[in-house]
Amino acid sequence: MKTAIVTGAARGIGAATAQRLAADGFAVAVVDLDQAASDHVAEGISRAGGQARGFSADVSDAASVDAAVDLIAETLGAPQVLVNNAGVLRDNLLFKMSDSDWDTVVSVHLRGSFLMTRAAQQHMVKAGWGRIVNLSSTSALGNRGQANYSAAKAGLQGFTKTLAVELGPLGITANAVAPGFIQTDMTRTTAERMGLTFDQLIEHQVALIPAKRAGVPEDIAAAVSFFARDESSFVNGQVLYVAGGPHG
């Protein structure tokens, strides 16, 4: 049984992805800031018949990341799949965006994905097989109030393509999933910031989406599941928009 790490897996897209990869037959390391929240998701997976364990780590902190990946390798198995999903928002128009709004978002999404990938790739290289999936966003194409987030999500696309080039010869693929509007706590926070109820934001977004519905975490988990499979080995360095239409 191969081991998969999913970061930010205590809720939302990460939790759905952890559940999906467990159903696909991976032993899943559920990684999030809070140990109890990670354990809660892992216990749910175990109850459903899958194999999972909860781990706590701050993906933006190198020591925390290295310790967590070592512990995962010792207790669950050497990771061969990594899903860089942990994320935060600190939305603001550029003229109001603080240094810390910028640094926090870039640290968690970009630095976090770099640190996790650097720590996990050694196990994939040793095995001669690996799958890295990074969570980008339609915001990479530009989104009002998200200079920090769109820069990080566009940066992740370049990061993904470079990983594909460097690690491809070693049996490792790297791809990105770029979700559109997905119903999670993250988009619920966006509604609050905009002074809307969550239902109002959903209605507004659905009007713009060709598929005429909001996305759910399982939509993204299904795309990640494809990239994690053995049969996707010739798909490398791609960005898949999962947004109910050609773009956000």
Q: Active site includes 241? A: no
Question: What backbone phi and psi angles, to 5 degrees, belong to 48?
Answer: -85, 0
Contact call for residue 181 and ligand NAP (CB under 6 A) = yes
Q: Which residues contact 71 (CB under 8 A, 6 or more apart)?
A: 55
Choosing from 26, 102, 114, 149, the catalytic residue is: 149
Contact call for residue 224 and ligand NAP (CB under 6 A) = no
User: Could you tell me if 27 and 3 are in contact, meaning their C-beta atoms sit under 8 angstroms apart?
Assistant: yes
Contact call for residue 242 and ligand NAP (CB under 6 A) = no
Contact call for residue 87 and ligand NAP (CB under 6 A) = yes
User: Which CB, 73 or 140, lies closer to ligand NAP?
Assistant: 140
Contact call for residue 85 and ligand NAP (CB under 6 A) = yes
Q: How far is the CB of 81 from ligand NAP (least distance, A)?
A: 16
Which member of 179, 225, 236, 240 binds ligand NAP (CB under 6 A)? 179
Contact call for residue 202 and ligand NAP (CB under 6 A) = no
Residue nearest to ligand NAP (CB): 12
The neighbour count for residue 222, using CB atoms within 10 Å, is 14
Q: Which residues pair with 176 in a beta bridge?
A: 134, 239
User: Which residues are tagged catalytic?
Assistant: 149
